[in-house]
Structure 1
């Protein structure tokens, strides 16, 4: 068995790297769990950095001043670096001076912001800027882990190859596997020491010209699965601020229960409907290679968490999933004709062109309704595309609730006192749209 076959892949999200204390906790988890096995660590941007970079990019793209916001992001990362430097003295970095690596990264970020090309689309420009969050956090985590004794620690940029679908790059699997194996696998050389590689989640690059792409919001989970798939990893662990995969968000449902074990299929469906613990695309590559996924708490690393793998289990407790910032769009033919397959083809084509994903859909004789995540810019693009053929109405600021494995009691509990604008049920799933 090669070292790569024993590889563990860990993914740490924004909350687990939000400050120096969190990164030091990550270091303790690595020290106590790696146990000499090779480890690949995928990290998200720190805390709310992605939100901050989105705001900065939008200001820059629309030629408004962003200097205050950019200075705040830089100060935040420099403070974390300083705090780490005091806790983990480094022979080549003075904790009382700015880390030269961070200085260089922020210079590059400032350059990109100042030179946004008007020829680039909004989404392409977004990827070149917002991806910096993961680059910054992966460097700081790498910096912290270099203090682990008897460990060979490496930092690598993204080796995931995608097409040029900005903000949701589609993976070129064959090219990605070649690049990952060439750039990473040889670093796991068995010599008795721990081998750790830190890399950025969420980020990819275009196959032909290496321009930066991103894999979609919360795409670091997916990145971890891509690396595990390409390296035939032993397992993937996602470290969260919850006890495992729960039946609901405990902040909204205090009586949420933990699933000790759950199948790939059930988890894929929960993720598809919006369960926030796991990115929807994460499970497919893991299921294809039978790589188990564990969800564990970085607040309580010794707790068992949830094991997701190919298994059979009894009926699960109902899962409650809430999606906010939803938009309900209804399309009616202008001549009161029935909504036909030809009409639906036109509507689906426009939805795809505007890159609006359908979370729920329903049709009647002369109308067709869909619930999507709300984006003012994309909804307006959709309305312009369909203006000549349909009357379109929409409501924003809505909620979409899904109950997976529902029963009468769970439906009654969630719908009580709410005005339901649209509802739908299948054998195992109940969904409804309501006002926020």
Structure 2
């Protein structure tokens, strides 16, 4: 069996849904599970609704706009205004309204997960209804009934034994009869609350289902032809990798390549499940194949990670940085779930580059300010060049203010303003 994942750009309008349905129809000769993201920029809109609710500001206009957006997609797919999908859509927005109404009574991360999950629940329901209209045998399932997690909201960790047991016991018989349509990004904790797997986590959801089902492959359908050596919006004359090995792909995602979610590779590599990245606008093209024997790619990969913060911790008494200092900093980073993107230390200081999460970074600085003199810069960009050469380094560092520079055997990184 195979697993497909379609992102928000692929289902952003009625024509997109029709195109996705066409791709699915050409692959129903064998068991297929489809993971779908929220439509277009719906997750962003849901985050805004939550912000308005928590700020005691009316969100009526914004929720109506979001409902109208989905309604127009539905109208473009179903001529019958009495089709049951209209009732489904109204029900989901009633559920969303209830979640927003109780937002101020619950912990922020918990209510965040409950609110934003509606995007995937709505998009998957619309896609399943349209496939059924086309007489494709398909079944909608709630991913939360199968992906079991802990209660770490917004970055939930998967309970693999329980998830695998439920998926194998209940979904294999369904796949023998129908295409499964489900959601990315979401799960459920042991105490019954909705959780999410991290922003843009639908790729990871596809990998979870594939790993549990021992799928033949996972295909991520994107708006690019495959894995490119750089973001085509930032770099001209990008190169398409026809294949990559798991290690190189994992490194690229770690450094910030957005084409694949960072957590996706590990569960697939563990079971030798190939990952294909293909274009939903050119479904006949092969794209990129990521697998164990993928060839080494000498073309430099250039990865931009924006909205970075560079924090430097200086020893106050002019002594040297020791393992105890590193331990205290790392302990606080772990407690606050802050990931280091690049790190460098001198005799008397440690510098880390992290994502620009203001609240987390402010808390980190406040907690360590009594022990260290701390300086920081915000609004920076981390540029990583994997398999670098002198020409690429010169091009990427030209006319930029370098705040940090680091070079290893195969990787060159700079933090720039």
Whether TM-score is above 0.5 comes out as: yes
Q: Which residue, out of 183, 205, 227, partners 1:200?
A: 183
Q: CA deviation at 1:384?
A: 1.9
> Would the aligned equivalents of 2:8 and 2:37 in 1 still touch at CA under 8 Å?
yes
Give the corresponding residue for 2:156: 169
TM-score scaled by length of structure 2: 0.96
Q: CA deviation at 1:117?
A: 4.6
Higher deviation after alignment, 256-265 or 123-132: 123-132
Q: CA deviation at 1:33?
A: 2.9
What's the secondary structure of 1:296's corresponding residue?
strand
> Would the aligned equivalents of 1:10 and 1:236 in 2 still touch at CA under 8 Å?
yes
Give the corresponding residue for 2:60: 67
Report runs of 4+ in structure 1 exceeding 6 Å deviation.
none
Structure 1 residue 94 and structure 2 residue 79: aligned?
no
Structure 1 residue 28 and structure 2 residue 22: aligned?
yes
Structure 1 residue 124 and structure 2 residue 110: aligned?
yes
Tell me, in whole angstroms, the C-alpha distance in 1 between the residues paired with 2:222 and 2:27.
Answer: 16
Q: Which residue, out of 138, 142, 146, partners 1:157?
A: 142
Q: Which residue, out of 9, 25, 33, partners 1:40?
A: 33
Structure 1 residue 342 and structure 2 residue 342: aligned?
no
Gaps of 5+ in 2: none
- Residue-by-residue CA offset, 1:150-172 (whole Å, 9 max, x unaligned): x3210001121110111010000
Give the corresponding residue for 2:336: 354
TM-score scaled by length of structure 1: 0.92
Tell me, in whole angstroms, the C-alpha distance in 2 between the residues paired with 1:357 and 1:72.
Answer: 35
Q: CA deviation at 1:314?
A: 4.2
- Residue-by-residue CA offset, 1:179-212 (whole Å, 9 max, x unaligned): 212331111226xxxx2110000001002x2200
Give the corresponding residue for 1:135: 121
- Residue-by-residue CA offset, 1:299-335 (whole Å, 9 max, x unaligned): 0000110111111524421001001111111111222
Gaps of 5+ in 1: 1-6
> Would the aligned equivalents of 2:336 and 2:360 in 1 still touch at CA under 8 Å?
yes
> Would the aligned equivalents of 2:246 and 2:294 in 1 still touch at CA under 8 Å?
no
Tell me, in whole angstroms, the C-alpha distance in 1 between the residues paired with 2:373 and 2:63.
Answer: 42
1:21 and 1:63, CA in 2 relative to 1: closer, same or farther beyond 3 A?
A: same
Give the corresponding residue for 2:72: 79
Q: 1:190-229, aligned counterparts within 5 Å?
A: 195-207=178-190, 209-229=191-211
> Would the aligned equivalents of 1:31 and 1:148 in 2 still touch at CA under 8 Å?
no
> Would the aligned equivalents of 1:246 and 1:258 in 2 still touch at CA under 8 Å?
yes
Q: CA deviation at 1:131?
A: 1.3
Q: CA deviation at 1:98?
A: 7.6
Q: 1:303-382, aligned counterparts within 5 Å?
A: 303-382=285-364
- Residue-by-residue CA offset, 1:370-396 (whole Å, 9 max, x unaligned): 111101111111122112211212111
Give the corresponding residue for 1:3: none
